């Protein structure tokens, strides 16, 4: 399971796209929902197993790369 996209939607809302094995994604989403409920409200969660080719241009395929912190 890899984090593909993280977007601040506004009003304290965040959209997250993860990619990977369906079981791993479901487990990650469930854990994320439980953690988010501890600090606020979860608006919704959606898992799209094996999305249509038409949806792929809307969702990034490559995982986010960790940014290296620069020392100043």
Quote the tokens at residue 6: 């993280």
Report the pLDDT value the prediction gives residue 58, as an integer from 0 to 100: 74
pTM for the model? 0.69
What burial class does residue 62 get, using C-beta atoms within 10 Å of its C-beta: 0-12 exposed, 13-18 middle, 19+ buried?
exposed
pLDDT at 68: 57
Distance separating alpha carbons of residues 62 and 60, to the nearest angstrom: 6
Which residue shows structure tokens 């080719």?
53
pLDDT in tens, 13-39: 888 888 889 999 999 999 999 999 999
Instruction: Say whether pLDDT at 2 is over 60.
Output: yes
């Amino acid at each position: 399971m890899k984090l593909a996209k993280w977007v601040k939607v506004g009003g304290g809302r965040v959209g997250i796209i993860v990619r990977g094995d369906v079981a791993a994604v479901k487990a990650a989403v469930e854990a994320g929902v439980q953690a988010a409920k501890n600090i606020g409200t979860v608006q919704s969660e959606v898992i799209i197993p094996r999305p249509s080719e038409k949806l792929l241009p809307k969702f990034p395929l490559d995982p986010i790369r960790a940014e290296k912190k620069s020392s100043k």
